[in-house]
Structure 1
Amino acid sequence: MKRTSGRWGAVVWTVGVLAVLAVLPLAASSRLPDRIATHWGNGSPDGSMPIWAAAVFPALIWAVLALALGLAGRRGGASAAPWVGVSLLSGGVFLAGAQASIVRANLDRADWRDAGSVGTGILVTAVVAIAACALGWLAGRRSAPPAPARQDVGGESMDIPEGERRVWLSRASNPWLHLIAALTGIVAAAAVLAAAGGLIGLQWALIAPFAIASVLTLLCASVQARVTESGLEVAFGPLGWPVRRWTAQSITSARAEKRTPAQVGGWGYRLSGLGTTVMLRAGECLVIHPAKGAEFAVSVDDAERGAALLNSLSGRGAE
């Protein structure tokens, strides 16, 4: 499911950037000269294109780049996924920002030679692209598959030989929540780019709700659960933040239990009569009963093994 979510996210991102690159000059065509400046030298425009070419050319560059990265990622397998994702993210941000800067520089000019400077816009775009690159790399590192652990569990608790340490790790994601996060994020980003291109003012009443919805949905679209001697740690989102933690001693018991979205009230982070449930897919959930507070459940694979390890660790701490 994790790889499926990543592929859908890449497709939505690719199509969204392609649409922005192609539509932005066309949407502003009534305020642009017949040819627009597309290249600057020594601070002054020294090259131009017709509006249709200024829309098609960067879109074509992006399509070729995305296709090449997609083929490279397919040949490289899981090990290539992080750098492919980083390249798509930063490349899309840079091209879209550059396109917005070019459109803004040409707005309301009678001739392309009178276009303004794009220096500030390109600088801001480069900074944002580098930040996107760093965030993408961190997210890619977290999505790397964990090393296989020793697994010899039988029953509700795990027999841990003296002197040994055991770690359990499981991840889950929901491709539909990732799709919703991508779509709402594209709406917010399109509004920001339209404002950056000078087509509209900063419409915070549009940008803020969609941006907040995108971030909150993304945080609830994937989860990582880890059990160590310290207890249980549940990390949300592609960057593993925020995080909820319980010490082994604060957990009275743990179990695996099948739950459905209908039982807990829907998808994502849900509060119900069953306590708190992080519902990403119907089926097996790791459920803990803390010494204080309501039960907490997270829908991850191999929940039975995680519960067994937690029961052993909490029992060891009570001895």
Structure 2
Amino acid sequence: MSERKARGKLREIRAPRGWAAWGTAAWAAGVLAVLVALPLSMRGAYGDRLATHWGTSGEPDGSLPPWAAAVAPAAVWAALVAAAVCWRAARRWRAAALVSGGVLLAGGQVSIARANLHHADWRDADPVSVGAVVTLCAAVAAGCVAALVSRRPAAAPASRGRGARMEIPEGERRVWLSRTANPWLRLLGAAAGAVAVAAPLVGAGVGAGDLAQPMWLLVAPFAVASVAVLGCSSVRVRVGERGMDVAFGPLGWPVRRWDAADVEWARAERRTPAQVGGWGYRLSGLGTTVMLRGGECLVIRAKGKDFAVSVDDAERGAALLNSLAGAHTEHS
């Protein structure tokens, strides 16, 4: 039997350049710059170590070298950004977490730098009680404002159309292939992986006495974040005689499979990140969605559950899957 392949466009699709995506990227970069620049750019204004913790008496009782005082909060911030990108909660809660977390970390770094300013010995650093209270209040207020501003009206219910079917001449087999990638998620995953690789190298080059907390503690969370984000950064979808396969990530693993006999219907549908709660692997009132870019998605229902993936030429893939599913139903 001859085999024909109905291929979708294999080019990568860039994420839409909406205000939300650009605003999130700018906020993440700005907070990161503050966290790293403050301890490193003012090294001549204080000693070799910075007071980073104060006891109940208001006196400093813990310190870090400037490079560690920059890396530690930057690592926490990077992990928070990665978690927010992959978080399945509503958009307003993710925005609140990012804004309040950024204000809290940046405000804390400003308070630490100000307390250590012009003190050669970290034990002489000024108290940070007032700065801590102001920072905490500002973080809570900023989070509330972000939640209100990011609130969106509920998405309209999806169309219940079952999609068209493709006519397949007897004796022929057809396969549909399509692929989509989000370069922003790839960049974020690569950055997290770079931190995981660089952390032990940096720690190896610093004396044990200068290291208040082991750098290897950064490896595990950043490695996990890198694998998780890269796994949701691209998909390859194949529709064939057996059903539909969706392979995740640059290595094509893991893979989710649906047998053609289990597919009730398939259709093409336009969805946006705001409707499903963000980028990546999302759970929402519309079911499961692999959202890599807004626009056309291939939506299927199998075993009573909806699954959608953002790929090109989704209408053709849905038509072929409907035909294959119908053929299995007729033969059963």
TM-score, normalised with respect to structure 1: 0.50
Moved over 3 A (4+): 195-202
1:88-167 pair list within 5 angstroms: 156-167=164-175
Q: Deviations over 1:35-81 (max 9, x none)?
A: xxxxxxxxxxxxxxxxxxxxxxxxxxxxxxxxxxxxxxxxxxxxxxx
Which of residues 284, 292, 295 is equivalent to 1:280? 292
Match of 1:216 in 2: 228
Quote the Cα distance in structure 1 between the aligned partners of 2:200 and 2:265: 48
List alignment gaps of at least 5 residues for structure 1: 6-154
Give 1:197 shift: 4.7
Q: Does the residue aligned with 1:166 lie in a helix, a strand or coil? A: strand
Measured in 2, the distance between the counterparts of 1:199 and 1:226 equals 52
In the alignment, structure 1 residue 253 sits paired with structure 2 residue 253: no
Equivalent in the alignment of 2:189: 181
The structural deviation recorded for 1:199 is: 5.6
Distance in 2 separating the partners of 1:203 and 1:190: 9
**How has the CA–CA distance of structure 1 residues 193 and 3 changed in structure 2, closer, same or farther, with 3 Å as cutoff?**
farther
Q: Deviations over 1:189-210 (max 9, x none)?
A: 1103224556667533211111
| 1:295 partner SS | strand
- CA deviations 1:121-180 (Å, max 9, x no partner) are xxxxxxxxxxxxxxxxxxxxxxxxxxxxxxxxxx81111011100000000000110111
SS of 1:188's equivalent in the other structure is: helix
What residue in structure 2 maps to residue 316 of structure 1?
327
Q: Which amino acid in structure 2 is aligned with residue 185 of structure 1? A: G
Displacement, 1:293?
3.9
Query: Equivalent of 2:315, from 293, 304, 316?
Result: 304
**What does residue 2 of structure 1 align with?**
12
Counterparts of 1:225 and 1:185 in 2: how far apart (Å)?
A: 26
Question: Would the alpha carbon gap of residues 268 and 199 (structure 1) be closer, same or farther in structure 2, given more than 3 Å must change?
Answer: farther
Q: 2:239 aligns with which of 216, 227, 235?
A: 227
By relative contact order (CA 8 Å, sep 6+), the higher-ranking structure is 2
**Range 175-184 or range 296-305, more displaced:** 175-184
In the TM superposition, what whole-angstrom CA distance separates every residue of 1:232-273 from its partner, at most 9, and x where no partner exists?
000000110000000000000000000000000000000000
Structure 2 counterpart SS, 1:301: coil
**Distance in 2 (alpha carbons) for counterparts of 1:241 and 1:199:** 40
Post-superposition offset of 1:182? 1.2
Stretches of structure 2 lacking an aligned partner (at least 5 in a row): 1-10, 16-162
User: Secondary structure in 1 aligned to 2:196?
Assistant: helix
**Correspondence for 1:271:** 283
TM-score computed with the length of structure 2 as normaliser? 0.48
Alignment of 1:64-103 (within 5 A): none
Structure (1 or 2) with the greater helix fraction: 1
Which whole-Å CA distance do the structure 2 matches of 1:162 and 1:179 have between them? 46
Q: How many residue pairs are counted as aligned between the two chains?
A: 169
Cα deviation digits, residues 102-127 of structure 1 (max 9, x gap): xxxxxxxxxxxxxxxxxxxxxxxxxx
Q: Distance in 1 between matches of 2:207 and 2:199?
A: 9
Identity score, percent: 67
Assess if the C-alpha contact under 8 Å between 2:298 and 2:308 holds in 1: yes
User: 1:112 is matched with which residue?
Assistant: none
Alignment of 1:40-55 (within 5 A): none
Please give the root-mean-square deviation of Cα atoms over the aligned residues, in Å: 2.0
